[in-house]
A and B are shown apart, each in its own frame.
Chain A
């Protein structure tokens, strides 16, 4: 056994156990402490990444670490640490200090961390379920709240369909290839086609691409708002890492490009149009993330180094914009009776300029306005798509981006420009939330002006 390769996962596991016992032993008063401790666990895991010797394989070769995995894990740990710091105040204000939150988030992170390193369909399955089940529980955290229960149930149900598809796909893969390891395979046969079909469907469901997106708006709507920042980003990061690997292995397969392109076109156009009909800002952001799933899927339509690097950069900065925007939303939600209806956002930007400006920066970043880093991601995707000879898909991406600009702007103009009765005065920020928000903003600007800071770490 090569324990060194597992260093970050071991740290995470110890952290989880520690938090588990502390939750049992400590009083509710120490809720905040648990979260801050929890936030430091991924930081230690992140630091330990520098001591992992790559490339390494362990667990009978099912677990491998290379520069590519290190990149993904680094982002994942930063992300889960930041989201843990931003959690506690919301639960305290809602008067529901659930001590299980930190270790459930970490458990999900652990699962995703294993997922990123797995080269084998069996370990992939186990690790993705570890993460998913933790997230189902997190979604249902407000046990007394009808919406939370409903959305968690929907999420569980749809997630189980995904699990089933994942399992079916794996079985067909075994039938075609004769093993569970992911290896290059070029033979065009029925079993393998079925694998691609089922497996892609399962992944599409997990990244919430149309037509497998139904759980997303409900889950985002019902889950505790600050947790959505985590739910909407961390699993997707890991899943796209897997999709990039799959694209490198299987994208010469005939069906691949067609399936991916159809999924992505459906996602971007359906979601961008549907977003206009939303009255809840949380649902609006859910549709925005479905549209982004469409954009990201374009990045795995063909195996091309420029394209995949661009995708990983885009993804790497996108997750911070999403996390930041949900931190702002949860800060707003601390006001009594705030339900994220669009009208409740009226004048919020003027009343609370810090939060309003922060949210606007994230919205402008989603549109793709420089100097926010998502613009570099978009530019990179255009370059990759043009290089891969998929100019028409790039054009579709352009058109979808134009369509999307309207609803982000609508939210911005509601917050700042529209006049009328102002019902809410803007929420409050805790120290942890301010920290997370600040880091997200700095990332977005810094990586927009100096993308090489992240770009050099992307190695395929």
Chain B
């Protein structure tokens, strides 16, 4: 029953997308998109409330035969991490649709593509069959490509192509990795199967683990993105429309780290230990280098994009720190970063809507003209830099706690990254919201009529920030969710 509900939640947006494509009425598109995403979110909440975190197995499962000669089944299910990310995805699409309620340019296509994207994202987090997983994983490229390409800014074609090629580069290695483990399973057991549990329970010899880890890891690393595969992200974010950036940062980046936790850690445990120095090196470079890059930016979206890379570096670091608390923190960080980066991109998008520039040189002293935005912008940033009482704090605390136990030096470096995070955010805030003296009289004149947040902006911001506060002051149920996964990974 729950499995059926999960299936409905995943494919409802697909059905709505088809409806939008058939009806082609912009009001209809807006209404049905918001309605669909709200229904999906409510289903996700219902599934979350019925999630039993004491039961150490995947829940809300459904398994139907699909492609029998190849041992492929339509198999869905959620564990704690999957549940958390499923909730996050469903939630962020509500926010994205509310935010885009006033879109004027090709609204039907816009909503149809976002709905397709929602199906793909929800599917990635709940697929328990490699074929199905890859289907969703890769299908996601198509709507995102066109979202960046159609509604982007000046260099949108370049950014869309770069996004596509980079992600495809990673995922085709992932496909080879999947083929390899399936064939190994076939050689060991004599039957072809793409089932997650079947392939997870095989003991892979070390050399296969080492190779397969790299193949899988490349696929995930591009999506995270880990240094040095990160260069597509700033371009994609800079060019994408606001809602595209929100989904990209809040949902799509999580797929990479989700992949590491779901596939790499449990399937290749020895390789995961073997590659710890490599992963740590790349993560720390990402944390520090991306933070430095962020400080050097004058383009606010690019700055937020680099901050995302830095935060995702923390996630990969903690994922491989072989500690329960660190892994809890990593998953918590996925959710917290989803919320904070979404709020930051919405703030940036709002500024662009009003002033038509992302450059700090064109901005300054905005707090006087759009004070409400100044408040939510500050709050969004505080979530990102881990201010106590907000979601980011719990995540960073857990990460430091867990990483410090086994790798105190690396924990220190991670801490430095967090300090830099505060630095670049406050620097950006100062340049954009305060510093009145730099703006010209002409601008003062023009900005005096600026319209502050409208209703749909308020709804979107309140949704995101309220949940950040909730996650910050009452983390217990969410940590329980994370622990559900952590226990399965570490056994016990």
Contacts and interface: CB of A to CB of B under 8 A. Distances in A.
Contacts of B66: 450
A237 B3 CA distance: 43
A394 B141 contact: no
Contacts of B68: 452
B156 A417 contact: yes
A368 B68 CA distance: 22
Contacts of B178: 379
Interface string A368-411: 11110001001100110011000100110010011001100110
B413 interface: no
A61 interface: no
Interface stretch (B82-90, B159-167, B396-404, B418-426): B159-167
Contact of B139 (A369, A417, A455): A369
B175 A378 contact: yes
B455 interface: no
A216 to B, nearest CB: 25
Nearest to A417: B149
Contacts of A53: none
Contacts of B180: 382, 386, 391
Main secondary structure of the interface of B (DSSP, over half): helix
Contacts of B168: 367, 369, 402, 405
A306 B190 CA distance: 13
B491 interface: no
Contact of A417 (B157, B169, B172, B187): B157
A402 B172 CA distance: 8
A398 to B, nearest CB: 5
A364 interface: yes
A151 B340 CA distance: 60
B183 interface: yes
B81 to A, nearest CB: 24
A160 interface: no
A283 B23 CA distance: 38
A379 B175 contact: yes
A413 interface: yes
B462 interface: no
A394 B178 CA distance: 12
Contacts of A452: 67-70
Contact of B176 (A306, A394, A418): A394
A64 B138 CA distance: 42
Most buried by B among A368, A369, A394: A369
B142 interface: yes
A413 B134 CA distance: 24
Nearest to B218: A398
Contacts, number: 86
Interface string B120-162: 0000000000010011001101100010011000001100110
Interface string B210-229: 01000000000000000000
A60 B112 CA distance: 61
A394 B183 CA distance: 13
Contacts of A405: 164-165, 168-169
B176 A395 contact: yes
B182 interface: yes
B139 A416 contact: no
A370 B176 contact: no
A387 B69 contact: no
Contact of B172 (A364, A401, A406, A451): A401
A386 B179 CA distance: 7
A405 B160 CA distance: 13
B179 A413 contact: no
Interface string A333-377: 000000000000000000000000000000010011111000100
A95 interface: no
Nearest to A378: B175
A129 B142 CA distance: 43
A189 interface: no
A308 to B, nearest CB: 15
B232 to A, nearest CB: 13
B437 to A, nearest CB: 39
Contacts of B196: none
A418 B192 CA distance: 44
Contact of A406 (B69, B165, B186, B211): B165
B138 A383 contact: no
Contact of A456 (B69, B131, B192): B69
B135 A379 contact: no
A402 B182 CA distance: 22
Contacts of B67: 450-452
Given A402-B168, A405-B165, A405-B168, A379 B139 contact: no
Nearest to B156: A417
B146 A416 contact: yes
B172 A413 contact: no
A387 B157 contact: no
Contacts of A402: 165, 168-169, 172
B56 to A, nearest CB: 32
Given A383-B179, A402-B172, A369 B161 contact: no
Interface of A: 306, 364, 367-371, 375, 378-379, 382-383, 386-387, 391, 394-395, 398, 401-402, 405-406, 409-410, 413, 416-418, 450-452, 455-456
Among all A-B residue pairs, the 3 with the closest Cβ atoms? A382-B179, A417-B149, A383-B179
Interface of B: 66-70, 131, 134-135, 138-139, 141-142, 146, 149-150, 156-157, 160-161, 164-165, 168-169, 172-173, 175-176, 178-180, 182-183, 186-187, 192, 211
8 contacts: A369-B139, A369-B141, A371-B135, A386-B179, A387-B183, A406-B161, A417-B150, A452-B67
Given A306-B183, A379-B178, A386-B183, 5 more contacts: A413-B149, A417-B150, A417-B157, A452-B69, A455-B70
